[in-house]
Structure 1
């Protein structure tokens, strides 16, 4: 998947508004649309997309640790926000956009550095003006639950 490296790599507003959120997310997954730069920064990538559900796959490395050498809580939060909000995005109609209003995470255990995880976002509700989703981070190899989250997003019709 190509990652945007400058603002000019991203879609302009008219291009974005011309497609549904599911088409947009599918385009990122199949490489016809640029992926978000934060994916490179944080060490994760879009892994699966379907209607109301997305999975990101990532492997935390030393660059995302806190001063104690463990995975920083912001990594969990960023990854969960991405997965949950993108699950909402799959339900956004053409002509609309969304943004996160709030999110909450619960870290249940530390992810070992170098462990590959899946972060799954699943839609609970998608309406005219709000979307609600949940998320979880699980180890790919061990299946253990490492964190959960919930979000509310605002959906805004622009066109």
Structure 2
């Protein structure tokens, strides 16, 4: 279920009452709301485990730039989501995170309509920072379309 209004998102209190891994699993199993941006950009959470998440998505014509190629923001948003949500799986109950910075390297043009898997993996999760990397690959052939890295700030509620 995609949230369609702010009232459908979890309250801060409810989000802080579970670990980040529990929060991410709730989104995956449908007991928590899927982020509204995922509907807009045509992607969804596909897999969650501690330190790793995978999103599945397909760019549409609506995600192209004036040249007709998939906009770099589509790559960036999926990588930011996967990498930061991977960090979230390592955030303890009573804490939350925010992205401090992320970097994206596009390795090749992603044709419109190509289904992808976007994986985020944690390399470090401490008390105050989390670091993760990501890869955006073709679901059918495993071709690498983009990579990324991120640093997230972990804060107590």
The two structures have a TM-score, normalised by structure 2, of 0.99
Could you give the per-residue CA deviations for residues 95-125 of structure 1, whole angstroms, max 9, x where no partner exists?
A: 0010000000000001111010000000000
RMSD over aligned Cα, in angstroms? 0.4
Gaps of 5+ in 2: none
Map residues 91-106 of structure 1 onto 2, 5 A cutoff.
Answer: 91-106=90-105
Gaps of 5+ in 1: none
Using the alignment, how far apart are the partners of 1:116 and 1:15 within structure 2?
33
Using the alignment, how far apart are the partners of 1:35 and 1:56 within structure 2?
12
SS in 2 for 1:46: strand
Using the alignment, how far apart are the partners of 1:156 and 1:4 within structure 2?
24
- Figure out how many residues of one structure are paired with residues of the other and give that number: 157
Could you give the per-residue CA deviations for residues 48-78 of structure 1, whole angstroms, max 9, x where no partner exists?
A: 0000000000000100000000000000000
Moved over 2 A (4+): none
Using the alignment, how far apart are the partners of 1:73 and 1:13 within structure 2?
31
2:76 matches 1:80:
no
The two structures have a TM-score, normalised by structure 1, of 0.98
2:57 matches 1:48:
no
